[in-house]
Amino acid sequence: MEEMEVIIFEIIGNGGNAKGLVYEAIQASENGEFDRAEELLKEADEYLVKAHNIQTDLIQKEAAGEHHEVSVIFVHAQDHLMTAMEVRTLAENMIKLNKRLAALEAK
């Protein structure tokens, strides 16, 4: 496997792990497990940071003149990371709403 393929699969893997943890966090919040949801988001953030750092390194190399072939799988990796980041943002809002709903239901 070429170095670029390894890099691409690291982005996909880290993004996928993050996205899975984010969905687990949403589910935990729906079950009223808000501390667990926050823990899962923090764990997801660790994967997002790893993927983002890989992406940033590629961007810096590109800016320095080291060009990379843009393949379909590379585009997929970028799409995968972007959607994981967006799901993370939406999850934070959903968890806040679930907290408010739980508080209202407890009254």
Catalytic site positions: 76
| CA-CA-CA-CA torsion sign (45, 47, 48, 52) | positive
- Please report, for residues 19, 23, 52, 77, 103, the alpha-carbon distance to residue 85 in angstroms, rounded to integers and kept in the order given: 8, 12, 10, 12, 28
Q: Give the count of alpha carbons within 13 A of 49, CB side only.
A: 6
